[in-house]
Structure 1
């Protein structure tokens, strides 16, 4: 998992800058004058003018001289690329996602745990497809969300299970052990698509871990068991097609630690052979990103897709 930072004392002036940038980032095609922007963000007009003037001088905003409105600027493009590089998301990794997406006409993504939140680091969708999620979107890293980040690490799994769950949960320990054993044997995780699961992720996006009791109760109606959405082929032998949500495989660093997850979002019924074929492609993409990082799969895990055995 990617390292988190320890929170320090907050800075109100910095918070106002972040607040303004977040507001504009949520409306990338719109432009705002000072008065409108100050009102919408909840700042005084002089404070807002000072912030946008500095951001414009730095290239983070662009001012239209004709109507004196502001929008996001080109320096944010460079900043975004640098942020991806700091998260070890290289152009080569994005190319792997592009190939995966083009081959199956599906959305391919790379995600990691940043500051105790699962964060989407990169994403490639087929032309004309709106994936419904955006790079930078995050979810609380707490049961039942985040299983794919702990399946391949016993200590991480125990730590994750000890976290305060986002919703009331029960844990079927025996099935969870089967899930872990199966995913480790095959090198990937397959999650089924359910109406409750779709609603869960729609509600969870961007929310804090400490949800209100009413919302926790509602979510508890959608998902009540850790790993219940996991598809295990041995539990469904030869049963036609299965509604599959996502297939994921781990990415490792040179310490053999899982640092990211490569995923392909399916969102339709697949046969067992189709699931296996796509899973092999996801593992191959994850293995390629692992190699790009100079990473190594843990001893005993399935070999890298190119045929090279896992290092010992």
Structure 2
């Protein structure tokens, strides 16, 4: 639910999420301050509170921070509290076993897409880690938008920050083709995704008109950068980043998506085989 937010609460959650993403990385006080742009006083107050409540703990030798036992208590309750995510994660594990590529579960939280689970992958070159967050705006989230209402599809398209009718038409075409096919195919590499997010944050008030026009043109290109038409020869050579299919409830509303991340070039037969295996798995996820 969108609305008024609490900045202190957001900062505390930012720290918890950073600790959760760190995995084997040892985060010192200075790392947390730098990564989140906090003042030392604010970071100290948050970490002291989290330690007192058991949400964070500090290694007495190297002084690094990690999640505390309170997080484990919540984690132990997640499967019972979120059965749909548990079922989707089980489906992702089966698909990963069958196709051999990393497979993720992604959920929508307001205007963001959050990876909540991933199966498989190379730790040195991960397809993503739980907690990764990207904006729900073109070119991201096609598998959500393609099954949404027309009004919500228009809202997603408008987040592309482009007023070009041609771009809008291309995005409508992508959604239609994705729904017909049953799954999304995305060629947006991690580097392109980072550039797209950066360009989006730069488009604000106070820019000179000629720079704003340039940024708008760039965003228009990024809006469809991950899509290649069926007759585009580049489909055979560009790495396929994600093949994603939605989990639909009995009203045909998207609850979450499961995605396969080949991160390599695939031919049309290989892509279709993964897509069909994926849609079979997502259709079997229990949404009750």
Structure 1 length normalisation: TM-score?
0.70
Counterpart-to-counterpart distance in 1, 2:172 and 2:46: 53
Unaligned runs of 5+ in 2: none
Is 1:287 aligned to 2:279, yes or no?
no
Write 1 or 2 for the structure with the bigger share of helix. 2
Whether 1:230 and 2:227 are equivalent positions in the alignment is yes
| Aligned match of 2:54 | 59
CA RMSD of aligned residues (A): 3.9
CA contact (8 A) 1:101 1:125 kept: yes
Tell me, yes or no, if the aligned pair for 2:171 and 2:224 is still in contact at 8 Å.
yes
2:116 equivalent to 1:124: no
Cross-structure match for 2:269: 273
In structure 2, distance between residues paired with 1:79 and 1:267 = 33
Are residues 245 and 15 of structure 1, via their aligned partners in 2, closer, same or farther at CA, if it must alter by over 3 Å?
closer
Aligned residue for 2:282, secondary structure, equals helix
Q: What's 2:184 paired with?
A: 189
Instruction: Please say which of residues 261-270 and 63-72 is displaced more in the overlay.
Output: 63-72
State the alpha-carbon separation in 2 of the partners of residues 23 and 223 from structure 1: 31
Question: Does 2:101 match 1:109?
Answer: no
How far did residue 132 of structure 1 move? 4.3
Query: Does residue 1:90 correspond to 2:82, yes or no?
Result: no
Aligned to 2:193: 201
Distance 2:93 2:114 in 1: 19
- Superposition deviation, residue 145 in structure 1: 2.6
Aligned mate of 1:6, from 2, 15, 35:
2
Please say which structure displays the higher CA radius of gyration. 1
* Alignment TM-score, normalising by the size of structure 2: 0.75
Q: Deviations over 1:45-69 (max 9, x none)?
A: 9x82x64444234321224456766
**Contact 1:84 / 1:121 at 8 angstroms: preserved in 2?**
no
In the alignment, the residues of structure 1 paired with residue 17 and residue 40 of structure 2 have an alpha-carbon distance, to the nearest angstrom, of: 14
Give the equivalent residue in structure 2 for 1:251. 247
| Alpha-carbon contact 2:21-2:129 (below 8 Å) kept | no
Matched, 1:140 2:132: no
Shift of 1:183: 2.5
Q: How many pairs are equivalent?
A: 277
Give 3-state SS (helix, strand or coil) of 1:90's partner: helix
User: Counterparts of 2:97 and 2:11 in 1: how far apart (Å)?
Assistant: 41
User: C-alpha offsets along residues 94-151 of structure 1, whole Å, 9 cap, x if unaligned?
Assistant: 2221222232221111112212112112111235563242212111222333222111
Deviations 1:265-305 (A, max 9, x none): 1222222211111111111221122xx113xxxxxxxxxxx
